[in-house]
Structure 1
């Protein structure tokens, strides 16, 4: 234990989900998703139409057209809205404790991570914090990029390769780095 810290910084043994948070689906649907839906979605099997059907079956709103690649992971499909002609690349992880909304023609490249939940780093109770992610039309989230809870990506914006983005990304800009900073315009 660090002698400069007067008490434990985080007390994980006493962590509890906050009373205000709900998973957004009945337990049977959550269990069925974890046991059947998610393993199928995240499989190596090719094919977009059946993945779209599976996500819709569990409550996702999926637009027309698009591509859904193998190893796609979605924590709560009932909290996912995908516009028309979107591409979700291989090994994309949508960790959506809150809603994730994609506009039309959005590209989420391989290995990208969209995270809607985090913890309060200043709280010994490690309280859960969640905020939705919104990605507007024609935006591109490049390979291995990460979006923090509450991120809003404007229309036509690009979050570059392996960038870590949070907050408001203005329409039409290109952001790169960690933390993501504007490096140009599209």
Structure 2
């Protein structure tokens, strides 16, 4: 049966209680158990475009809508060390495959972001050694695919990619905000859909 011109609904709908609980779930595993037709219905209710999307793409979009806005919205410091809060969320801009300009991220910049930078609510370093190790393993294994870019302004570029999970063979969406200051590119914000973040 066809409804609203874009979604297919199976002849055996799930009980309302299951559909309601799925809408509130934020895990990829639980969404993978939901039939494709019901995922499309949930996505349409959340105003997600489902045209030409496979199940994994719809799940990624649903997870993005459930991510907290602060996780998807970078804030970058200016030369006066005041925070800019006018940057769009990662999922808002249009991404293209062509790189707008040369981006040079050094290992020192990545190390600074994942280990040295201070937590926003504490005066301690992030010290995400496990995350840095996993990131290097994914990079070495060539797990990053579909890398796209969005130039927000002259100093800020968003990078979006798909990263293959090391255990389950699932692709997670990853984002990074790259800021250029005095000709040097640095990672200022990053987000991953995986459970580690």
Same fold at TM > 0.5: no
- Which structure dedicates a bigger proportion of its chain to strand? 1
Larger Rg: 2
In the superposition, the TM-score normalised over structure 1's length comes to 0.31
Q: TM-score, normalised by structure 2?
A: 0.29
More helix by share: 2
